[in-house]
Amino acid sequence: MIERKNYVDNLRTLCILLLFPYHTGMIYNGFFNTYYVYYGYMKPMDDFLMIVNWWYMPMMFVLAGISSYLALKKRSSLEFLKERFIKLVIPCLFTILLVIPSISYVAEIFHNGFSGNFLSQYLKYFTNYKDIFGYTGGFTPSHIWFVADLWWIIFSSFLLMLYFVRHKEKIRIYKMSLFMIYLLFLFPLALTPIFIIGIYSLGQNFAIFMLGFMILSDENILEKLKKNMWLCMIIAILSLITTLYIYNKIGHQNYLKNKTIMVYVLENFTMWSCILALIGLSQNLLNMRNKITKYFSDISFQIYLFHHSFIIIFAFFVIRSISSIPLQFIIIMFISFILTLILCEIVRRNSILSFMFGAKYQK
């Protein structure tokens, strides 16, 4: 029987909870200089966003890769594909249909002075395309791009995943040294130019997912990271400081436009070093299971689906009525968090809603 990796569940939960300060912080970002609801550029917030941005979503793909390996080890091919379709594709479609239009509606009011009701905006939502982000209104997958990317990666690489599971012992991954593990950052670096949408690369996401599936699912590799946790943490912190220095040197407004090859190398190394450090750290500090961790693990995916709409809706009102930025930030996060949990409870206690949004039904 495949043992459950509690630290994987808990690290995923912490990453998803980090979305509350991250998406609230986007209201003050400087590298896009806009958002669905936008207050203005705040440098401390911008630095926080960039530090998180370099490793956060790649970590989500790595954890998805590890979980997919464990799931495929204990399920048949058909069971695995069916489960992933129900847990990813169906919630993705219903979230785009029923949840994200509220974000676009607020953006239309905030940026374009839209005065119609929600229904009138909803009817034109799917035909009004401006750009992939839709920060100023129009159709957008918003944060659900991650789920869409994930199911595309899983279904397109399924035969490769199946081959690896069946022939892993012949590949001898466990013999890799720590130095060789770090050099694996070259894989996502090489695939970064493939199919870039906005600031995200489907090629890089594919590479990171497969590194999670093939490398960071191996017990011997994990043990190396666990034993060298503090060395990995030092490397991650130094790489983050260096990358942040380069980011500020180039300037937040020019960073996305003026990247050199060396910047791409540094970004990918920083991303990978942070992932290795956090995987090692989580094995030592997060490998537990109790009522609280189980509860948040059970609803973490639904938190991901619903949190963004609440943040945007309440930010629309809060930034217009409260002048203190720290107070804005705290209130938006707190209210969004509470209402997200309430909605998650409603969803998981209704069999139809549970199916629509991939929740574990609680009678």
Three-state SS string across the chain, please?
A: CCCCCHHHHHHHHHHHHCHHHHHHHHHHCCCCCCCCCCCCCCHHHHHHHHHHHCCHHHHHHHHHHHHHHHHHHHCCHHHHHHHHHHHHHHHHHHHHHHCHHHHHHHHHHHHHCCCCCHHHHHHHHCCCCCCCCCCCCCCCCHHHHHHHHHHHHHHHCHHHHHHHHHHHHHHCHHHCCHHHHHHCCHHHHHHCCCCEECCEEHHHHHHHHHHHHHCCCCHHHHHHHHHCHHHHHHHHHHHHHHHHHHHHHHCCCCCCCCCCHHHHHHHHHHHHHHHHHHHHHHHHHCCCCCHHHHHHHHHHHHHHHHHHHHHHHHHHHHHHHCCCHHHHHHHHHHHHHHHHHHHHHHHHCCHHHHHHCCCCCCC
Query: Highest-confidence range of 85-99, 155-169, 196-210, by mean pLDDT?
Result: 85-99
For residue 361, tell me if it sits in a domain. no
Range of the domain at 217: 6-356
For residue 363, tell me if it sits in a domain. no
Give the pLDDT band of residue 2 (cuts 50, 70, 90): low
Which pLDDT value is given to residue 256?
59
Does residue 123 register a pLDDT over 80? yes
For residue 150, tell me if it sits in a domain. yes
For residue 92, tell me if it sits in a domain. yes
Which pLDDT value is given to residue 261?
78
For residue 70, tell me if it sits in a domain. yes
Q: In this predicted model, what pLDDT tens digit does every residue of 238-279 receive, in sequence order? A: 999 998 888 887 766 566 566 677 888 889 999 999 999 999
For residue 143, tell me if it sits in a domain. yes
Say how many domains are in the chain: 1
Which pLDDT value is given to residue 257?
62
